[in-house]
Structure 1
Amino acid sequence: MFLIHTHFTEVSGIQNTKLFPYKELKMATGNFHYSNKIGEGGFGVVYKGTFRDGTVAAIKVLSADSRQGVREFLTEINVIANIEHENLVKLHGCCVEGNHRILVYGYLENNSLAQTLLGGSNSSMQFSWSMRHNICLGVAKGLAFLHEEVKPYIVHRDIKASNILLDKNLMPKISDFGLAKLFPDNLTHISTRVAGTTGYLAPEYAIRGQLTKKADIYSFGVLLLEIVSGRCNTNRRLPVSDQYLLERV
């Protein structure tokens, strides 16, 4: 009974978004075959899926013990479904059937900045200064759109290299809106539980839980350092004095 109620609550909370049948996503990914897996994190696994009409998509399957619960799942859908910008990922739809919670995004050929630029020996891609400049500019445009043009404006709360995806032309797209917060015009800040990724958190947010646009700007600044240096902000395999990028700047 709880499962049925939860399913109804989630579906009724989804607006302006296509609902995909689970069997269609299962077929598109070859029964979620490991050869189609393109990413994995605390939320679950992302697969490359090809539909009958030839459309290719990134299919994000939330694991049963995902850090992204029902609230974050609905937030991600309703935030990104109603906005569109060349530097934001495009949500095509979702699946809510039984215990399955799945998001369907446009497929981006060059994965994330974490994999391509910061992946070290795992990536064969070379980034020129011009390419890095364009990526920085694209992310800045995406953030400016969220902060200034969307009403109510949106604070992402988890800007980091693994949430910046690259298309075939290396145009950056901000992804993963599960932690996003919408700000009414009359609020300058929100007091909330701290969420995000260690190493990217603004000090005033991490310490006091006061969230403003500046939290995203701080995270973006850390990301800029990573893009320019080609180094992760934290690398515990290095000597202690070199582990934290911000302390080296």
Structure 2
Amino acid sequence: MGLLCSFCVCLQKKLKAANSAGADKADDEDVSTDIFFELNTLQIATNFFSEANKLGNGGFGPVYKGLMPNGQQVAVKKLSIDSRQGVKQFSNEVKLLLRIQHRNLVILLGCCVEGPEKMLVYEYLPNRSLDYFIFDKKKSRSLDWTTRFHIITGIVKGLLYLHEEAPSRIIHRDIKASNILLDEKLNPKISDFGLARLFPGEDTHLNTFRIAGTHGYMAPEYAIHGYLSVKSDIFSFGILVLEIVSGRKNHDVQLGGQQIDLLGYAWLLYQEGKILELVDQSLTKYNVDEAAMCIQLGLLCCQASVTDRPDMNTTHLMLSSDSFTLPKPGKPGIHGRAPRRTTTSTSGFTKTNTSTQSGVTKASTSNSLMEDYSRNSISVSSFDEGR
């Protein structure tokens, strides 16, 4: 509590200093200090956080739709009182989102800290999150191939900004379908930076025993060894691309045999020269070349070898250049699945929650965990709270 309040006070001082330093600039370039919302304002906007205004639940806490006095719609994300690591995530998300601006990143409008209440206030995106559409057989039909390809390229641009163009390199750590929000024109926006890590200076990676993220999307070197780099996001993005193209989750127990695991099934089809069999059957029309390219790109991003995965600059070039020839992908990496996993559907803030604390149990059988393609060589005991 004291840490967060001190953070907010420091944040206010920094913004005021920024205004003073830029006093000689034009009015439209002034830095706004009005990012702190009063609790009473948000209570009225959300009808006192009524169930009718509730968009859903996440590891962070409930999310509510609100209508501000000026007519603006917002999404209010509350920190659960009993969330053990929520304060750190809260501070992290505020600090990061106040520093970054991009059309493919969700916009943070402000925050509220009063008594035990801690909230983040975002722009409201009416089309919810990507998983709300892509994993529903009926709703997925509204996402034609052009729209899906547009969503993929938009996510690439957002990640390229975070990895290469932001003031400091940022690794999201939780890229997944439920953290991609869609605006009124179905433009994608990366959301939920509570687990993001900032890499100041020239640092490119770190080793940590504090593992956080969502099973099925986590890079093996990070999930098993705690090796975190931009290539961790690349792996998650690769899984997400395969999901967007196929219209199915990365692990679906309803699909038997080899199809149960999306990455393994995509690799098998690629080896057999049947890559287009992965394309969502609800797509009656699609660009064959683009679909094949996206599947191959997904496999390239999910390679076991970290150095062989393309960075976001290369990925963007692959998608935007007609003359770029994609290399052949190598073996995909291991990606673990949680023994306990629950998914709560929300409006724009769907969360996949994994039983969490800290630490990771290493595989019992592996001399080369990064190169062996095995679904049985990872055993995860617990992960950071909130996802």
Do residues 146 (structure 1) and 162 (structure 2) align?
yes
**SS class of match (1:9):** helix
**SS class of match (2:57):** strand
Which shows bigger deviation, 63-72 or 167-176? Answer: 63-72
Asked if the contact 2:4/2:87 (under 8 Å) is kept, the reply is no
Asked if the contact 1:88/1:175 (under 8 Å) is kept, the reply is yes
**SS class of match (2:101):** coil
Counterparts in 2 of 1:109-128, with a 5 A limit? 109-120=126-137, 123=139, 126-128=142-144
Q: Which of residues 5, 11, 28 is equivalent to 1:8?
A: 5
Percent identity among equivalent residues?
A: 51
Match of 1:56 in 2: 73
Q: Whose radius of gyration is greater, 1 or 2? A: 2
How far residue 45 of structure 1 moved from its aligned partner, in angstroms, is 1.2
How far residue 44 of structure 1 moved from its aligned partner, in angstroms, is 1.1
**SS class of match (1:19):** coil
**SS class of match (1:48):** strand
How far residue 185 of structure 1 moved from its aligned partner, in angstroms, is 2.7
Counterparts in 2 of 1:160-239, with a 5 A limit? 160-192=176-208, 193-239=210-256
Deviations 1:190-234 (A, max 9, x none): 112211100000111111111110000110000000000010112
Deviations 1:94-116 (A, max 9, x none): 01111111100001010001112
Do residues 157 (structure 1) and 173 (structure 2) align?
yes
How far residue 46 of structure 1 moved from its aligned partner, in angstroms, is 1.2
| TM-score, L = length of structure 1 | 0.92
Q: Give the residue type in structure 2 aligned to 1:190.
A: L
The number of equivalent residue pairs is 245
Whole-angstrom CA distance in 2 between matches of 1:13 and 1:229? 46
More strand by share: 1
**SS class of match (1:218):** helix
Whole-angstrom CA distance in 1 between matches of 2:56 and 2:257? 29
Whole-angstrom CA distance in 1 between matches of 2:188 and 2:50? 27
Deviations 1:13-34 (A, max 9, x none): 5455611111110100111111
Q: Give the residue type in structure 2 aligned to 1:12.
A: V
Runs of 4+ in 1 over 6 A off after TM superposition: none
Whole-angstrom CA distance in 2 between matches of 1:236 and 1:124? 20
Whole-angstrom CA distance in 1 between matches of 2:134 and 2:140? 9
Q: Give the residue type in structure 1 aligned to 2:8.
A: V
Structure 1 gaps of 5+ residues are: none
Counterparts in 2 of 1:71-110, with a 5 A limit? 71-110=88-127
Whole-angstrom CA distance in 1 between matches of 2:222 and 2:77? 28
Q: Give the residue type in structure 2 aligned to 1:55.
A: Q
How far residue 247 of structure 1 moved from its aligned partner, in angstroms, is 1.7
Structure 2 gaps of 5+ residues are: 16-32, 267-387
Asked if the contact 1:10/1:70 (under 8 Å) is kept, the reply is no
Asked if the contact 2:180/2:188 (under 8 Å) is kept, the reply is yes
Whole-angstrom CA distance in 1 between matches of 2:85 and 2:181? 19
